[in-house]
Structure 1
Amino acid sequence: YVNYLNVMQAYRLKLPFGIAQVGKAFRNEITTSNFIFRTREFEQMEMQFFVQPGSEDEWMEKWKAERWDFYLQLGLNKDSLRFRQHGPDELVFYAKEAWDIEYQFPFGWKGIEGIHNRTDFDLSRHAKYSGKDLSYFDEATRQRFIPYIIETSAGLTRTLLTVLVDAYGEEPERVVLHLHPRLAPIKAGVFPLVRRNGMPQRAKQIYEMLKPHFTVFYDESGSIGRRYRRMDEIGTPFGITVDSQTAQDDTVTLRDRDTMQQVRVKIDALKEELEKRIND
């Protein structure tokens, strides 16, 4: 709120506009035993969106939809997400409306983000006690008013935990991290099927070809099954294997982490195929 006037004047902004930031937040928690959900220091992602009074309900619905879509784009299971509206007994006195986005963890539903209609309370209080004029003049309507604020406040640490919990899976023969390909730290593993017949050399050429475009990992240690499992466990979505057929037709096998299905892809088409799958 204290940056509202500087940002608006420096950038000559007109309503609606928002100010977003990511950083450390501190809270005077008496009880800190509820895992990461009650800590005195945490990483927070927050936005204050300033709107004209009378339009706040419309913007509230828009930001609820935007923030819901954000979590779906992270690859979270839609069935594990829900909106929960604050009831009269928990709605703070200055808020017109408040919603939480909650995720169903193994230990129950927990909030990962709050979306609030804070009315003009914050700017009005800052104006009153600072002596600064924080009103906005609308040139189109020739009206002056204190903007309403739609706030979105998400825990970065909670979001990271949510992504990891949602992605983690245990299967009879493997542990797998089903990260969305956009989030996976390593996009593909590159492997020679065996360490002979020129396969390692060809696999290294493919690794060097892809390295400028993606974070890829080369591995020739152990059986191919073990190498696949290692990549599955850290969330690598794709495995590229050079085998005996590669020398015949310049194709490799491209393995999908989640389905474990393999298709043959031309080496020259690998970059395009990976880009398509990552951004799908």
Structure 2
Amino acid sequence: MDKIVSFCKRRGFVYQSSEIYGGIRSSYDYGPLGVELKKNIKDEWWRRLVHMRDDVVGVDSAIIQHPRVWEASGHTATFNDMLVESRTSGRRYRADHLIEEATEIDAEGLSAEEMTKVIREDERIKDPVDGGRDFTEARPFNLMFETYTGPVKGPENLAFLRPETAQGIFTNFKNVLDTSRVKVPFGIAQQGKSFRNEITPGNFIFRTREFEQMEMEFFVEPGTDEEWHETWIQERWDWYTGLGMDPENLRVYEHPPEKLSHYSKRTVDIEYDFPFAGWSELEGVANRTDYDLSRHAEFSGQKLEYIDQGTGNRFVPYVIEPAAGADRVALAFIVDAYREEELEGESDDSRVVLKLHPRIAPVKAAVFPLTKKEPVSTKARELYNDLRGDYSIFYDETGAIGRRYRRQDEIGTPFCVTVDFDTLEDDQVTIRDRDTMQQERVPISEVRERLQRLISTGSAAAER
């Protein structure tokens, strides 16, 4: 993790937020390359789930919603973690994490009293900071951030920052039905910021209090939900592997019935084998049944049902929900793509390379003149200016060509285009592939089309 954190800062992917003031725990800013990477990931998710399908539409709901939304969803009453405080160090911990990291006990589902008993009786459980064994009783801690609307700070104006984007989809179900030509089965997708006041955030951007979600609610007729659930599990798996993630680092985890969320009929996680956290959730795919729509219908007094125009049947749809965090997904792609390679027959015998799929790479291509001198540099500038606007392009004329290649390898740029002295004679340039380091000569007039094809397929090797 230290290597990845250092790499992300050094190359401009992720910075500690408010670093000049000493930083703030579990809060991060995305730098020039990081913002491009995360945007590309979100764009690919949206392209696959919305633009490439005719049964999914999008919404963008508000971060601050009516407080009754969270009563209906169950968040006000049940969105809690168990908190304990060490009297020796003053640190606060999630009780289940404290228990599970020191013992073989599965603490999920234990009550506050049961957790308190385990912590007090099992001598293996100690304060990670000072080894103390003096803890307060475990107590529920609601994870929602509170805020207030209007000029007066009082209970009548209490509101919350949304802990998930899903509820904004459910509350807009009727609006989408009334204003769009959608028919069950169909989905509503949304991306946006969510906020959870985690007791123990950590592992860089893996778990933070402010994060970005990519969620879709797919509404289906009851009785077809199990088949659709399997369909979406496979669809989401294919998205990750299609963007180059190593399937050896992925697995499907089935939540046992006793650990399912209150709204879930079945939940399956796509997990990634993080080197610092082991197998951990990358994305959840849940069968939420009709829980959410039924609860919002009850609390709002509105009918949130679907009428099949062909049969006249009325029903409250079941919902299949693929839900992922863009920040955690970005971290997984970085970790999966990071390589330190030993090279043979090279002036530099090693390189750091980020083997990101070209579709999500922050910079798609770099243009180099072999020399700063005219007219080679002028020709390179003309090509660079011509390519700009299609996607993120970088221009570099500083240092030896080998060093320029290495810099681009390290930030994941899949293709480098070099203008050399021969270009002045034959009007062709060299395109170098990041992964294979192979080169090909391409007429300048065909560079744009060639790059677009390579970016779409992944690499010259994949195209072949």
Q: Aligning the two structures, in what range does the TM-score lie when normalised by the shorter sequence?
A: over 0.9
TM-score (norm 2): 0.57
CA positional deviation for 1:257: 0.8
CA positional deviation for 1:60: 0.8
Q: Which residue of 1 aligns with 2:270?
A: 101
For residues 46-84 of structure 1, what are the alpha-carbon distances to aligned partners after superposition, in whole Å with 9 as ceiling and x for unaligned? 111111111111211221122112212332112211111
CA positional deviation for 1:167: 1.5
What does 1:75-90 correspond to in 2, within 5 Å? 75-90=244-259
- For the Cα contact (< 8 Å) 2:257–2:266, is it kept in 1? no
Q: Which residue of 1 aligns with 2:336?
A: 166
| Alpha-carbon distance between aligned partners in 1 of 2:247 and 2:409, rounded to the nearest angstrom | 23
Q: Which has the higher strand share?
A: 1
Q: Which residue of 2 aligns with 1:251?
A: 428
What one-letter code is carried by the residue in structure 2 that aligns with 1:86?
Answer: H
Distance 1:277 1:33, change over 3 A: closer
| Alpha-carbon distance between aligned partners in 1 of 2:209 and 2:452, rounded to the nearest angstrom | 41
- For the Cα contact (< 8 Å) 2:195–2:209, is it kept in 1? yes
Give the ranges of 4+ consecutive aligned residues of structure 1 lying more than 6 Å apart after TM superposition: none
CA positional deviation for 1:225: 0.7
CA positional deviation for 1:140: 1.9
TM-score (norm 1): 0.93
Q: Please point out which of 385, 389, 394 is paired with 1:217.
A: 394
CA positional deviation for 1:36: 3.8
What one-letter code is carried by the residue in structure 2 that aligns with 1:85?
Answer: E
Number of residue pairs the alignment of both structures matches: 280
What one-letter code is carried by the residue in structure 1 that aligns with 2:384?
Answer: Y
For residues 198-241 of structure 1, what are the alpha-carbon distances to aligned partners after superposition, in whole Å with 9 as ceiling and x for unaligned? 32122222222222434322211111111111111111111111
CA positional deviation for 1:93: 4.0
Q: Tell me whether 182-191 or 105-114 shows the greater mean CA deviation.
A: 182-191
- For the Cα contact (< 8 Å) 2:206–2:327, is it kept in 1? no
Matched, 1:154 2:331: no
Q: Which has the higher helix share?
A: 2
Q: Which residue of 1 aligns with 2:72?
A: none
Matched, 1:201 2:378: yes
Matched, 1:74 2:251: no
Matched, 1:65 2:242: no
CA positional deviation for 1:247: 2.5
| Alpha-carbon distance between aligned partners in 2 of 1:22 and 1:40, rounded to the nearest angstrom | 17
- For the Cα contact (< 8 Å) 2:265–2:288, is it kept in 1? yes
SS at match of 2:258: coil
RMSD: 1.8
Q: Tell me whether 188-197 or 96-105 shows the greater mean CA deviation.
A: 188-197
SS at match of 2:421: coil
Q: Tell me whether 192-201 or 52-61 shows the greater mean CA deviation.
A: 192-201
What one-letter code is carried by the residue in structure 2 that aligns with 1:68?
Answer: W
| Alpha-carbon distance between aligned partners in 1 of 2:447 and 2:186, rounded to the nearest angstrom | 41
| Alpha-carbon distance between aligned partners in 2 of 1:77 and 1:145, rounded to the nearest angstrom | 41
| Alpha-carbon distance between aligned partners in 2 of 1:37 and 1:103, rounded to the nearest angstrom | 12
CA positional deviation for 1:34: 5.0
Structure 1 unmatched ranges of 5 or more? none
| Alpha-carbon distance between aligned partners in 2 of 1:45 and 1:7, rounded to the nearest angstrom | 19
| Alpha-carbon distance between aligned partners in 2 of 1:43 and 1:75, rounded to the nearest angstrom | 22
Structure 2 unmatched ranges of 5 or more? 1-169, 343-349, 458-464
Q: Tell me whether 206-215 or 49-58 shows the greater mean CA deviation.
A: 206-215
| Alpha-carbon distance between aligned partners in 1 of 2:183 and 2:393, rounded to the nearest angstrom | 44
CA positional deviation for 1:256: 0.7
CA positional deviation for 1:157: 0.9
Q: Which residue of 2 aligns with 1:119?
A: 289
| Alpha-carbon distance between aligned partners in 2 of 1:212 and 1:29, rounded to the nearest angstrom | 40
Q: Which residue of 2 aligns with 1:55?
A: 224
